[in-house]
Structure 1
């Protein structure tokens, strides 16, 4: 794949989490751990460009991105201002990941596709534009994937299967980045692993955009009911021993992922502030 000109080098693997919700000391510790462990990017879940600054300050070279910033949460003018500040202080280290979020999450949700087009237009027209190579879209459906191909560096799909990755790769062509998220449960017992995965998936089962994407992929209403069927869980998450997890990660790579955004799913008592799950995951990445 030939990357969009000027796009930061994300490396092979990224780490995603709601790191901006952590206390500053814990956030900085986790960010430094991720950089030291060899991840190419830190993706800030449910964050704005403004909230990326402390993570960039706490690290020295790793790329930091939003995954994603909802277009309903912060307007394009303020986002462009924030990008300009980050680019000046940390050149080449920030990627603006954007998404339309969900009707169930915001009362402002309306006409998501044309609103995203208008948002990208405003980023282009800003005093300091956000370059296409420094922005990506959380694209699930065909129209948003095409928009990611033509107006950004590529796509950041969340909660998708290897089959979706292959379809997105075909739609994006060879020049756009494809950086899917993959939840990883480092647990060999099937019941235990699926229980942990369902705990993470529960809130997303209510969101229409995700459900529609799974139904397009061939899952049924029964699969997306309750906590999600075993078939759905097994398709969306990598779980098992190290070899099985590596095989699932490699399946994403073989399907066309350029950069895989991993997310350990666990019940560590320190939650997201725990560095031990990240060390375990980093050690087994192919």
Structure 2
């Protein structure tokens, strides 16, 4: 599967059907290779993938991520096979263990240890059919153990909220021949204070989740830098901001570190599709 050099990651729960179609037209029309979407409290992952595939022509559509507690492994494999067969092999199944509030608080399941839970799920996917799965299976991997599992039993990884240093580490663990599709938040904005304010608002939901906090600490950020909305150094690392060339240089740092694909998340005011589309235009050749 060709993911293309650049893709777009979008919090699709914020968009209705018309908004999703407009996003697809913009992303596809500007030459991006893949559209990635999450699974949170709104749209169900597989149903949404079907809509996105049906309303696009050439884009790869990737779940980033489908929650393993939302459907059993057999169903996940059948979903991958179904979407791949009906839409020209354009679906990539990104899987993740999600977070305790999304699993225990929202769904009422027990949140198991992440690596054993994912290993058992991948075993179930293999057991659900003969031979390799019908399309790529990628893992939301941050720590070295989950990355090692992605190297051994999946087609690669889709890290989120990371830096080029993490990308370098991930590439080393995954090894050659694996997909390393890295998410990076971006904000083309000359006013640094405004860009940081938008970044802090976007990151607030993640800064209470241990999976991300622990990874940021592993990457060298201090506990103090993660307090009160995050230090300027932390925010600038998580959200590339400035003029288009500065942002492009930040994206290229991920490729230099070993990423095979970078998916940009466009940080704007809520509903500011004009700013979103302008950023898509400006970064399409990064």
Tell me the TM-score normalised to structure 1 length: 0.91
Deviations 1:28-72 (CA, angstroms, capped at 9, x unpaired): 221122111111001011152332001000011110010001111
Deviation at 1:127, TM superposition (A): 3.9
Equivalence for 1:116? 118
Q: 2:16 aligns with which of 19, 23, 26?
A: 23
* SS at structure 1 position matched to 2:57: coil
What are the residue-to-residue correspondences of 1:117-196 with 2, within 5 Å?
117-127=119-129, 131=133, 134-196=136-198
**Contact 1:37/1:279 (8 A) holds in 2:** no
Deviation at 1:152, TM superposition (A): 1.2
Equivalence for 2:283? 284
Which consecutive unaligned segments of at least 5 residues does structure 2 have? 105-109
**Residues in 2 aligned to 1:21 and 1:124: alpha-carbon distance in whole angstroms:** 34
Equivalence for 1:44? 37
CA separation of 1:246 and 1:255: change in aligned 2, threshold 3 A: same
**Residues in 2 aligned to 1:65 and 1:275: alpha-carbon distance in whole angstroms:** 24
* SS at structure 1 position matched to 2:224: coil
**Residues in 1 aligned to 2:167 and 2:161: alpha-carbon distance in whole angstroms:** 11
**Contact 1:134/1:153 (8 A) holds in 2:** yes
**Contact 1:76/1:123 (8 A) holds in 2:** yes
**Structure 1 runs of 4+ with >3 Å offset:** 127-130
**Residues in 2 aligned to 1:192 and 1:275: alpha-carbon distance in whole angstroms:** 17
Which consecutive unaligned segments of at least 5 residues does structure 1 have? 1-7
Matched, 1:81 2:42: no
Equivalence for 1:238? 240
**Contact 2:268/2:275 (8 A) holds in 1:** no
Deviation at 1:17, TM superposition (A): 1.1
Equivalence for 2:215? 213
Deviation at 1:82, TM superposition (A): 1.7
**Residues in 2 aligned to 1:58 and 1:22: alpha-carbon distance in whole angstroms:** 14
Matched, 1:100 2:102: no
**Residues in 2 aligned to 1:84 and 1:178: alpha-carbon distance in whole angstroms:** 22
**Residues in 2 aligned to 1:160 and 1:34: alpha-carbon distance in whole angstroms:** 23
Matched, 1:71 2:68: yes
Equivalence for 1:267? 269
**Contact 2:84/2:134 (8 A) holds in 1:** no
* SS at structure 1 position matched to 2:138: strand
Q: Paired residues, what number?
A: 276
Deviation at 1:110, TM superposition (A): 1.5
Deviation at 1:129, TM superposition (A): 6.8
* SS at structure 1 position matched to 2:21: helix
Equivalence for 2:230? 228
Tell me the TM-score normalised to structure 2 length: 0.91
Which region of structure 1 is more displaced relative to structure 2, 15-24 or 242-251? 15-24
**Residues in 1 aligned to 2:48 and 2:118: alpha-carbon distance in whole angstroms:** 21
**Residues in 1 aligned to 2:154 and 2:4: alpha-carbon distance in whole angstroms:** 18
**Residues in 1 aligned to 2:76 and 2:131: alpha-carbon distance in whole angstroms:** 10
**Contact 2:30/2:280 (8 A) holds in 1:** no
